[in-house]
Structure 1
Amino acid sequence: MRTALPRTPAAAPRDCDPPMHRLEMRMPEGLPFAAGTFDSIGPMSRAAFPHRHTFYEIVHVTRGTGTHVVDLARWELRPPHLGLILPGQLHHWEDARGLDGHVVLFTGDFLLDHPGDRDLLRRLGENPWLTLDGPTHARTGLLMAELVEEYGHGADGFATVLRSLLHVLLVRTARLRGPGADGPGASGPPPGRPAAVAESFARLLARTGTDGRPVRAYAELLGVTPGYLTEAVRAATGRTPGTLLREARTREAQRLLARTELSVRQIAARTGFSDPAYFCRFFRRETGTSPGDFRKHHDRRAPSIEGGPPPA
C-alpha cells in the first residue's frame, strides 16, 4: 500500500487545484485500509505541501515539532496528539521535525460493518485535533499498535478485526471532552441557526436516510425551506443534502449486499426504491458497478481509490 497522486487524466486535479491523494492498493486481497508508522506509510504522510485526500486519515503523533494545518486551522505540535483529516480537507505539515507516530488510512467503503461510524467521524471532524493526557495516550498507542500489527499480519479474518478495532478507536475518541481539546475548532462548529439546521439534518439522516424521502421532506420536518436547508448543509459540509442522501442510500445498499443474503429486490425496498430496475441504475451510477457485481467481487478487488464524492 502507498498513498499516491492520481495517474489518470480523469482523477488529476484541475489547474490551480491542490493535489488529490488516493490509496493505491497492491495486494490481490487488498482492502481500502492501511495502517503503519509515518515511515512505513511513506513520505506523503509527512507532506509539507497543501493537498487533499479521497480517504480518511487518523494520526497519533508521539513525537515531533512544527505545525499541522487543516483548512484554515493551525495546531502547533506538542505531542501526544490524536488528529483526524476528513476526505476533501486541505492539509499539510509545516516545518515538521522528528515527526513520529502511527497513521491509519481508510475509505468510507471500509465502514460497512459499522455504518454509524460515518456519523462518529463527522462529529469528530468538528474537533479534529486532540492533545492527549498520559492514560489516554497509552490506551490510544496500544490500540493503534494493534491495528498496525493486525494489518501487517493479514491473517484469516483480519478485515473484520480491523473494522472492530477501528470502531473501538472512534467510539473512545468520541468520548474525549474538554481538557482533551486543544487549538482552533475545539469548541465545535460555529454557532448560529444554519449550523443548528445542518446538525439536525445530519441526525435525521442517520435515522431515516434510507427510507426514500426527498430533501423537501427533511426541510419540512426542520421547519425551513429546501433552499435554506441546502445553503445550511453546504456551509457546514461543503456538499448538498441531495448528495448526502444519495450517499446514505448507497452505503446501506452496499452493506446489505455485502453482509446479507437479501435479494436485490429486497435491498431496493429496504433503501427506499419501489422499482428494482431503477435501484440498479441508481447503484451503478453511484458506484460504477451493478449490485450483482458488487456482491460478487466485494473484498476481492484491489481498489485504487480515486476521485471524490458523487457530484451534487
Structure 2
Amino acid sequence: MPDRIPTYELYGEYLAGTRSDPVHHETIRERSSQHDWTIRLHRHRKLAQVFVLRTPGVAIRLGDLNFRSQEPVILLVPPGVAHGFRFPPDILGDVITLRPALLREDTAQRLSRLGEAGGAMLPRQGARHFDTIETLMAQLREAMRDFGPDRAELLDTILRLVLIYVDADRAAAQPLGALPAPQEQTLHESQVQAFCGAVEAHFASPMTLESYAAEVGVSKPHLNRLCRRILGTTPNALIRQRRLVEARHLLEFTRHSIADIAARAGFADPGYFSRSFRSDTGMTPGTYRRLHGS
C-alpha cells in the first residue's frame, strides 16, 4: 500500500497510550459519528479487527476491493490490510480490535491462522453462529468494564470463543477474492515507528523535536516530512495527542488536581492544557472528569 494510507492504532489515533488490554471494544457509532459516518481508507499494521455490522447498506473497502453489504454481516480484517467504510447514519454494530502481541499463545495462534486465510465477510443468512457472536460481543463489552482479578482470563475466554465461531462460519463466507498482501515495513515506516516509540517513552518530558529526531537518527526537517507523509500529521501534533491520551486516563482513574494532571501529562502550562483539552474533546477537563471519572 502507498505511504499516503495512514497507519493508526485505532482510527484517528497513532499511539496506544495507556491501553494495555489485548482487545478493545467500541460500537460503530462511537467513532463513525465523529467523522460524518465515513472511516477513510487506513490500516493497522499490528492489529486485527472483527466488525459486526447489524445494519445493511454499508459501503466497504478492503484493499482494492469495493462492495456494499446487503444484509447484516461479520467482517474480519487481518493486520496490515487497508480498509475503509461509509456507514448509514442509523448504523448499529460493534468492532473489536485485537492486539496479537498481548493475547495468550493459543488465542494468538488461532487469530494468526484466520489472518493467513485473508479477510472474510460472513452474511447473517449463511453464518450459523451470527447471533452467538453478537451475544459474545455484548458480553465482551461488559467484561471490559470489569476490573476484577479475573478480568484478563475473562476477556481472553470471550475473545477465543468469538474467534472459534468466526472460524466455524468461514465456510459461509462471501468470497472477497485475493486481498493484497501487506507490504513489508519500509525504512521510513521503521523510522516513524521508532519516533512513536520515543514519544511513548518521553511524552511527559520537555524533550525537543531535535532530540527526538536525534534519537531516531534523522534530522528535524526529515522527521517532519516523514510524519506528514506516513502519518498525515506533524510530530508536535503526535506528541500533543499522546499527552491528551494520558490526561484523559488520569482524569478518569485518579483524583489528582487538574494542574497536577497537566504536569504529569507533559503540559508545562495548565492554561494551555485546558485550552488544548477543550479543543480536542469539546469540554473542560473538569467536565470530562465529572462525566467519565470512576
Give the TM-score normalised by the residue count of structure 2: 0.51
Say if 2:139 is the partner of 1:146.
no
Residue 69 of structure 1: aligned partner: 61
* Aligned equivalents of 2:132, 2:236: Cα separation in 1: 40
* Aligned equivalents of 1:81, 1:146: Cα separation in 2: 15
Please give the per-residue CA displacement for 1:182-232, whole angstroms capped at 9, x wherever unaligned: 954543x55432111111112222333333434332112111112211222
Determine helix, strand or coil for the equivalent of 2:245: helix
Determine helix, strand or coil for the equivalent of 1:104: strand
C-alpha displacement of 1:33:
3.9
From 30, 38, 59, the counterpart of 2:51:
59
Residues 158, 73 of structure 1: alpha-carbon distance in 2 compared, 3 angstrom cutoff = same
Determine helix, strand or coil for the equivalent of 2:145: helix
From 26, 34, 37, the counterpart of 2:27:
34
* Aligned equivalents of 2:240, 2:202: Cα separation in 1: 12
Residue 15 of structure 2: aligned partner: none
From 245, 268, 278, the counterpart of 2:239:
245
Residue type at the aligned position of 1:59: F
* Aligned equivalents of 1:231, 1:141: Cα separation in 2: 47
C-alpha displacement of 1:289:
1.8
Aligned 8 A contact 1:283 1:289 in 2: yes
Residue 18 of structure 1: aligned partner: none
How many residues are aligned here? 210
Residue 226 of structure 1: aligned partner: 220
From 283, 289, 292, the counterpart of 1:295:
289
* Aligned equivalents of 2:290, 2:207: Cα separation in 1: 29
Aligned 8 A contact 2:136 2:158 in 1: no
Residues 82, 241 of structure 1: alpha-carbon distance in 2 compared, 3 angstrom cutoff = same
C-alpha displacement of 1:273:
2.2
Aligned 8 A contact 2:52 2:95 in 1: no
Determine helix, strand or coil for the equivalent of 2:267: coil
Aligned 8 A contact 2:119 2:179 in 1: no
Task: Flag as ranges the 4+ runs of structure 1 deviating above 6 A.
Answer: 137-143, 164-167, 169-172
Residue 176 of structure 1: aligned partner: none
Determine helix, strand or coil for the equivalent of 1:252: helix
* Aligned equivalents of 2:236, 2:157: Cα separation in 1: 30
Determine helix, strand or coil for the equivalent of 1:210: coil
Residue type at the aligned position of 1:243: A
C-alpha displacement of 1:53:
2.9
Percent of aligned pairs with the same residue? Answer: 22
Determine helix, strand or coil for the equivalent of 2:212: helix
C-alpha displacement of 1:139:
11
Residue type at the aligned position of 1:160: R
Please give the per-residue CA displacement for 1:230-281, whole angstroms capped at 9, x wherever unaligned: 2222332222222221111111101101111111121111111233233223
Aligned 8 A contact 2:227 2:235 in 1: yes
* Aligned equivalents of 2:264, 2:51: Cα separation in 1: 36
Please give the per-residue CA displacement for 1:158-178, whole angstroms capped at 9, x wherever unaligned: 76149x799759998xxxxxx
Residue type at the aligned position of 2:65: R
Say if 2:180 is the partner of 1:194.
no
Correspondence list, 1:148-297, <5 A: 148-149=138-139, 160-161=145-146, 183-184=178-179, 186-187=181-182, 189-297=183-291
* Aligned equivalents of 1:105, 1:80: Cα separation in 2: 10
Determine helix, strand or coil for the equivalent of 2:76: strand
* Aligned equivalents of 1:146, 1:284: Cα separation in 2: 35
Aligned 8 A contact 2:50 2:74 in 1: no
Aligned 8 A contact 1:234 1:240 in 2: yes
Aligned 8 A contact 1:210 1:248 in 2: no
Gaps of 5+ in 1: 1-31, 36-40, 45-50, 62-66, 94-101, 152-156, 173-181, 301-312
Aligned 8 A contact 2:204 2:267 in 1: no
Aligned 8 A contact 2:38 2:85 in 1: yes
Residue type at the aligned position of 1:52: T
Determine helix, strand or coil for the equivalent of 1:53: strand
* Aligned equivalents of 1:216, 1:140: Cα separation in 2: 52
